[in-house]
Amino acid sequence: MGVEAVTNQKHVPVMLDRIVDLLAPALADGGVLVDCTTGHGGHTEAVLERIPGSRVIGIDRDTYALGIAGERLARFGDRWTGVHAVYDEILDVIAGQGLDHVDAVLFDLGVSSMQLDQRERGFAYAEDAPLDMRMDATQGQTAADVLNTYSAADLTRILRDYGEEKFAKKIAYAIVNRREKVPFTTSGPLVELLYAEIPAPARRTGGHPAKRTFQALRMEVNDELGALRKALPDSLEAVGVGGRVVVESYHSLEDRLTKRAFAEATKLDVPPDMPIVPPEAEPSFRLLTRGAEQATEEEIEENPRAASVRLRAVERVKPRNNPRDNTAKSTPGATR
């Protein structure tokens, strides 16, 4: 699929209006957002259109996605800068742009609809395609590598933990038995194996029987949870006073990591019976969402992907440790 064709597709990001509303107070008057999951640029485009003066540093490990975003966002000139990186490199990316801090950070986790639409990427299970699943197609192991080299125990672990697959052990041993005869190269034989190993009653509920296994493989290939574990605390460190971090998750483990990081950042670190809280004990952040917000029924009906989204956001209320400038908007020239 060509760049122009993808750019012209109207993939509306999940909970877009709510996300822009959460980001807007931090980005007014020239604030800088780091969009950690640029994709085809939907969130960035909305921010640049609706928040005058804002700027966006767009990170993506997918070079193809950055090319799509570059065409889509060219009309904004130097208000958008694309960077090929993984989001756990956020502090290095910010320093590389000559900034000490930024005003907002956004994560829209998981696989994008654009990646699902590209047959050769191997993310989708609807048709036979190479088992790749790398978000950065220039490096790293593929899904086929995982299937053909991991032990049954390791396959069981990732199918159970990342895919929440009830039949993880059964599937894992079937994969090992099958690859001894013919290695996995494309998705078709894997889907056939899943239909054979998952009992018929279980196949009738919970969506396509390959959905959980493909999700687990994608998360393993791209080390998504490992990157997120580092990126979340680094994103909190990246924002100055008034800065906001907004996270959209589509998997329970992603949301759990986000909830834990935000709970730690907003925790009041004093005994519960202390009558007066000293200023130094006040938390550095405050919650902007009550629990995890979810999409409306109307949005879910329009976009089924929205059914599993969990949205959380926090705002920094205390200066960072040893900041150079926590109060002013992000300005070039400062370094970490």
For residue 60, say whether it is annotated as part of any ligand binding site.
yes
For residue 108, say whether it is annotated as part of any ligand binding site.
yes
By C-alpha distance, which of 97, 35, 45, 39 is closest to 75?
Answer: 45
At 55, which helix (H) or strand (E)? strand 55-60
**pLDDT at res. 332:** 54
Q: What is the pTM of this model?
A: 0.85
For residue 118, say whether it is annotated as part of any ligand binding site.
no
**pLDDT at res. 209:** 82
> Which residues are within 8 A (CB) of 305 and not within 5 positions of it... i.e. 6 or more apart?
14, 113, 250
**pLDDT at res. 125:** 62
Integer CA distances (angstroms), 176 to 45, 133, 214, 216, 268, in order: 45, 20, 16, 16, 49
The full set of domain ranges for the chain reads 3-114+224-316, 137-221
**pLDDT at res. 1:** 37
For residue 41, say whether it is annotated as part of any ligand binding site.
yes
C-alpha to C-alpha distance for 245 and 87, rounded to whole angstroms: 13
E strand spans, 210-306: 239-249, 285-287
We find that the CATH architecture of domain 137-221 is Orthogonal Bundle (1.10)
For residue 250, say whether it is annotated as part of any ligand binding site.
no
For residue 117, say whether it is annotated as part of any ligand binding site.
no
Phi, psi angles (nearest 5°) of residue 315: -130, 135
C-alpha to C-alpha distance for 179 and 51, rounded to whole angstroms: 53
Token pair 């949205």: residue: 311
| CATH number, span 3-114+224-316 | 3.40.50.150
**pLDDT at res. 64:** 84
**pLDDT at res. 62:** 86
Strand order of the β-sheet with 32-35 is 80-84, 55-60, 32-35, 102-108, 239-249, 310-316, 285-287
Low-confidence ranges of the chain (pLDDT < 70): 1-11, 111-126, 206-207, 271, 273-275, 277, 322-336
State pLDDT tens for residues 22-45: 999 999 989 999 999 998 899 999
**pLDDT at res. 2:** 40
Structure tokens at 92: 């290095």
State pLDDT tens for residues 220-242: 999 999 999 999 999 999 999 99
For residue 154, say whether it is annotated as part of any ligand binding site.
no
- The DSSP bridge pattern shows strands 285-287 and 310-316 to be antiparallel
